[in-house]
Amino acid sequence: MTSLGFGRRACGPILANARQSRGSRFPMPSTTAHATAGRRASSSSNREPIDVAFVGLGNMGAQMALNVAQNKKGDGLPHVRLGVHDLNPSNVSSFLRRAEEIEGLEDAATISVSKDLAAVGGSNPDFVIASLPTCEASEAVVSDIVRSLPAETSDGGKRCVFVDTSTISPSVSKTLHEFVTSTSPLRDYVDAPVSGGVKGATDATLTFMVGCSSPETFSAVQPLLRRMGKGVLSCGESGAGSAVKLCNNLALAAQMIGICEAMNLGEALGVDPAALAGAINVSTGKCWSSEVNNPHPEAARAIGSGASANGYEGGFGTALMLKDLNLAVDAGEEEGLALPVAGLSRDLYRIASLHGYADKDFGVVLEFLKGKK
């Protein structure tokens, strides 16, 4: 098997070894195994069930995985048996608790947990969905799972498609596609980063920006992506999805800074934050950062959404935005482009991160501009 020298990274393997809670419907075995409820559900269908592995149960991934688990009639997918995996045991435990609270999920899907990435590959999934924080994490996860997939037999084998929803470098996406497809004609890799934030993940209204070199593979992944979102955009060949996402987040970073400055100025001038946000949202300044994730807590509470209303918890982290801006600026440098606004935005998010805001939603820049700690 071809090796790209990914090696072992600090971010992998993804490990889920949390203890099973008392009375839980969902098993926590040391290797992937499917529950009886899932077998009962699949027996009622005339289509073979599919096995989907989901790696990365952070703020976004956990919500997306919950939507994958909820089988829906007429959505183009057969019954899904879901396996989940995460480096942080508390993320796994939290995910399973939330799954317990979804009415009807016991009969809708099988949810299982594997101890490591070797078990993910050994479970021989049809699809592997990844929601990871860095390029290095994507490299390590894809590499370890590919090396653990069952060998092809004389009568062929099972198709496996990697769907990477992480925001990573377009060059890394292309390299991973080349690596996966080089190991078998039955394997493919799709870069499908998302837009829509935690709220979009929760409501299954995400937009997927897809880079895919095979029309057949694009058709195969669409029903799965539509279970997690409302928009599936074909952006071009492998790596194009990642490129589009970096461009989107470059614009989003600058957009949020603009709204933070506007909200800060308005409040200093004595304008009620909720009134200011209301005016912006029916004027030319209207945008996602003003309407959906307003950085001012009072405005967010009046609107009814936004991480700032919850102490900037549970949104898109400042450190993650900084990571995306680093990728965008690096890509610009590789192409010989000047990206002055991206560079200034990156500097502001870097300083905010160094001042203790790294783990807060990126709208916390408003608090940083106010000089708060």
Residues 266-293: pLDDT tens digits? 999 999 999 999 999 999 999 999 999 9
* Strand ranges for 91-243 from DSSP E: 110-113, 127-130, 160-164, 187-191, 194-195, 206-211, 229-236
pTM for this prediction: 0.82
15 pLDDT above the threshold of 50: no
Q: Rounded CA gap, 340 and 208, in Å?
A: 27
Q: How confident is the model at residue 110 (pLDDT cuts 50, 70, 90)?
A: confident
Q: What is the mean pLDDT of the chain?
A: 86
30 pLDDT above the threshold of 50: no
Q: How confident is the model at residue 153 (pLDDT cuts 50, 70, 90)?
A: low
For residue 176, which of 224, 220, 213 has the smallest C-alpha distance? 213
302-319 average pLDDT score: 94
169-197 average pLDDT score: 95
286 among known catalytic residues: no
Identified catalytic residue from 245, 286, 323, 373? 245
64-72 average pLDDT score: 89
Q: How far is CA 200 from CA 56, 208, 235, 307, 328, in A?
A: 17, 11, 20, 13, 23
307 pLDDT above the threshold of 70: yes
108 pLDDT above the threshold of 70: no
31 pLDDT above the threshold of 70: no
pLDDT of residue 151: 82
Q: Rounded CA gap, 5 and 98, in Å?
A: 38
For residue 369, which of 296, 261, 271, 250 has the smallest C-alpha distance? 261
